[in-house]
């Protein structure tokens, strides 16, 4: 089925719209953009020519995809935005293209950006990520799969958010958040425990969760400094527990430092 384009929309020659795309009134799609099959583009949406949008995405009113990075060092060279399949971008969402020549701001599959959320230049995002209303990701932030960023939470540039983590509403982080951890609402850089519900939903078994709890306590509750805890974690017998390896590898790779510990939360 051919694309359906409202009479008031502007789709420049050189834009590629795959089968069954719908484009709403007063939207603009620039030359060079590619919109995947089955996408629905709402009214007054702007998609710049550097954007590749995967299949079956739904972009709501007023979203702007691929505009220039808000970076004084931007040279004007070509850079890109790549958005995966089955993503939902609600009203007023903004996603900026990469700032260095040839670089890409990248979203995974099945991500949801709620109203007025923002991903700055060179953000890298896994699959099944949710940004609630007003959540802001600074430049070069890395967000693992199945992360939930609550409303009006702030993620500083270059910060890494580990797989399965959850940031509470209004939280601000300028240090890395380890996988499967929760960040206290209305706090700065304060982990308060593990995202047990999120781990269960991700199919992480009770035995695997027990291993991750042991690692969490070693890092945050043992009384060791981070350097000593890192060394101790490398000596832990985690076998072939993939989720535990994800936790350990993330902690060992952190360069910005890790969020501090607030208090533990409930267990299984």
**What is the per-residue pLDDT across 61-104, written as a single tens digit (0 to 9) for each?**
999 999 999 999 999 999 999 999 999 999 999 999 999 999 99
Kindly state the tokens that stand for 144: 């693992």
Average pLDDT over every residue of 7-21: 97
Same-domain check for residues 11 and 81: yes
Is residue 233 helix, strand or coil? helix
Residues 219 and 131 in one domain: no
**What whole-number percentage of the chain has pLDDT above 70?**
98
Mean pLDDT of 166-189: 97
What end-to-end distance do the CA atoms of the chain give, in Å? Answer: 50
Give the CATH number of the domain where residue 242 resides.
1.20.1180
Final residue belonging to a domain, choices 110, 125, 140? 140
User: Which pLDDT band holds residue 263 (cuts at 50, 70, 90)?
Assistant: low
With respect to residue 83, please indicate whether it lies within any of the assigned structural domains: yes
Asked if residues 117 and 134 have their Cβ atoms less than 8 Å apart, the reply is yes
Q: Please give the radius of gyration of the chain, using alpha carbons only, rounded to the nearest integer.
A: 20
Structure tokens, 35 = 């919109």
Q: What is the pLDDT of residues 37-54, one digit of tens each?
A: 999 999 999 999 999 999
Nearest to 32 by CA among 101, 88, 80: 80
Q: Does 237 map to a domain?
A: yes
Residues 23 and 106 in one domain: yes
CATH number at residue 25: 2.160.10.10
What are the strands of the beta sheet with 260-261, ordered from one edge? 4-5, 22-23, 40-41, 58-59, 88-89, 112-113, 130-131, 148-149, 166-167, 181-183, 190-194, 260-261
Domain-located, residue 183: no
Query: In this predicted model, what pLDDT tens digit does every residue of 122-174 receive, in sequence order?
Result: 999 999 999 999 999 999 999 999 999 999 999 999 999 999 999 999 999 99
- Rounded to two decimals, the pTM is 0.94
Domains: count for the chain: 2
Please give the Cα distance from 224 to 234 (Å, whole number). Answer: 14
Q: Which of 95, 116, 140 is the last residue of a domain?
A: 140
When pLDDT is cut at 50, 70 and 90, the band that residue 235 belongs to is confident
User: Does a structural domain hold residue 21?
Assistant: yes
Residue 129 belongs to a domain? yes
CB 212 within 8 A of CB 182: no
To the nearest 10°, report the CA torsion of 88, 94, 99, 102.
30
Last residue of a domain, one of 140, 163, 190: 140
Q: Which domain holds residue 104?
A: 4-140
């Amino acid at each position: 089925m051919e694309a359906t384009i409202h009479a008031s929309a502007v789709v420049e020659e050189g834009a590629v719209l795959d089968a069954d795309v719908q484009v709403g009134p007063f939207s603009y799609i620039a030359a060079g953009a590619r919109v995947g099959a089955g996408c629905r583009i709402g009214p007054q949406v702007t998609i710049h020519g550097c954007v590749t949008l995967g299949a079956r995405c739904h972009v709501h009113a007023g979203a702007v995809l691929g505009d220039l990075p808000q970076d004084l060092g931007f040279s004007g060279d070509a850079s890109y935005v790549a958005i995966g399949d089955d993503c939902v971008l609600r009203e007023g969402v903004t996603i900026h293209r990469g700032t260095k020549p040839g670089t890409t701001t990248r979203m995974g599959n099945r991500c949801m950006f709620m109203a007025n959320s923002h991903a700055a230049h060179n953000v890298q995002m896994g699959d099944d990520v949710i940004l609630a209303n007003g959540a802001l990701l600074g430049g070069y932030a890395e967000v693992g799969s199945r992360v939930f960023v609550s409303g009006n939470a702030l993620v500083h540039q270059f910060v890494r958010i580990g797989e399965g983590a959850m940031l509470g509403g209004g939280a601000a982080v300028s240090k890395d958040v380890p996988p499967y951890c929760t960040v206290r609402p209305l706090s700065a850089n304060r982990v308060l425990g593990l995202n047990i519900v999120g781990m269960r939903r991700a199919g992480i078994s009770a035995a695997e969760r027990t291993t991750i709890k042991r690692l969490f306590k070693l890092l945050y509750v043992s009384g060791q400094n981070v350097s000593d805890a890192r060394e101790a974690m490398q000596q832990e017998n985690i076998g072939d527990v993939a989720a535990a390896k994800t936790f350990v590898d993330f902690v060992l790779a952190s360069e910005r430092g890790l969020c501090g510990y607030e208090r533990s939360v409930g267990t299984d």
